[in-house]
Structure 1
Amino acid sequence: LTPMQHGMLFHSLYAPEAGLYVNQLAITLDGLDAERFRSAWDETVACHEILRTGFVWIDGQAMQAVYRQVPSPVRIDAEGDWNESACENVALEERKLAFALDTAPLMRVRLLRLGANRYRMIWTSHHLLLDGWSTARLIGEVLQRYHGQPVEVPASRYRDHIAWLQTHDVAASESFWRERLQA
């Protein structure tokens, strides 16, 4: 885990009911093929280890567990037409619903049917997985897949960053930056 993930994990476990580090995006999608959208999400999850990650303890130390396969994060609620108030209630329920941090995926995508081919997407995820920049890139990738466009997957993996952090001399870095900032 990165130092930032350690901090988020600690606070998430210390006060799970507080909903700390839970991110949510709600948008209305017109002209949507819900099943094709689910497939785009599923393909994206399959391509990124971090989206198939849970957090487990081995010998008292928190570790990331990357699962080969995870259930689809997408739930399609296509029965009837949802109104604005009902959508807001679902969004609130999703924010309150805790994540089992050892079980991937640590995100949920609800598609609420508003009318013919019109849906409200409520995407709830744990901040342990994604920051704001990554969230925007991920949505872009899902939309590329949905539209059948080629997707460029980054060459590096998150595990490479973790491995680099574990071999990095933190004291030397701190010393370097202290000297630079004092100059």
Structure 2
Amino acid sequence: SGWNEQPLQVVYRHKAAGFRFEDVRSLEQGELGAYIAGFAKRDKAEGFDFSSGELMRVSVLRTGEESYRFVWSFHHILMDGWCLFLIVGEAFNTYFAILEDRKPELVPVTPYS
């Protein structure tokens, strides 16, 4: 549906992504793999609701003293294969810059409008 029988596109100025954190260090090694697989399956089954929910979720599972599992879920309408490559590259470059205690080098963005 749309406005006055015409398609309508809504672009949010600010739309927060969902964020979840779980500390699963107490799980035994044998349980951990099954838990992570189940978590990913539940996250995928949750899907996304255009009208009320976020269209992207980031989940961090702490699996050890210095190890984490990062689950990044998004609706395919947000990113295609071409831009996913760019965004994942930017995310990892930012992460490694922070680890090296330096400022991330980000390219200027073009407003959607």
Unaligned runs of 5+ in 1: 1-55, 160-183
Query: Which 10-residue stretch deviates more, 117-126 or 77-86?
Result: 77-86
Query: Which 10-residue stretch deviates more, 66-75 or 82-91?
Result: 66-75
Q: Give 2:40's aligned amino acid.
A: A
Could you tell me how far 1:133 is from its partner in structure 2? Answer: 1.7
Which protein is richer in helix relative to its size?
1
Q: 8 Å contact 1:95–1:124 — kept in the other structure?
A: yes
Could you tell me how far 1:77 is from its partner in structure 2? Answer: 1.3
Matched, 1:73 2:18: yes
Unaligned runs of 5+ in 2: 98-102
Matched, 1:84 2:33: yes
Q: Percent identity?
A: 27
What does the per-residue CA deviation read over 1:120-174, in whole Å, with 9 as the maximum and x for residues that have no partner?
Answer: 111111111111121121111122333232100343x444xxxxxxxxxxxxxxx
Matched, 1:63 2:8: yes
Q: 8 Å contact 1:70–1:104 — kept in the other structure?
A: no
Give distance in 2, aligned partners of 1:61 and 1:78: 47
Could you tell me how far 1:102 is from its partner in structure 2? Answer: 2.5
Equivalence for 1:151:
106
Highest relative contact order (Cα 8 Å, sep 6+), 1 or 2? 1
Q: 8 Å contact 2:17–2:55 — kept in the other structure?
A: no
Give distance in 2, aligned partners of 1:105 and 1:118: 27
Give distance in 2, aligned partners of 1:154 and 1:128: 19
Give distance in 1, aligned partners of 2:23 and 2:6: 42
Give distance in 1, aligned partners of 2:65 and 2:42: 25
Normalised by the length of structure 1, the TM-score is 0.48
Matched, 1:117 2:66: yes
Which protein is richer in strand relative to its size?
1
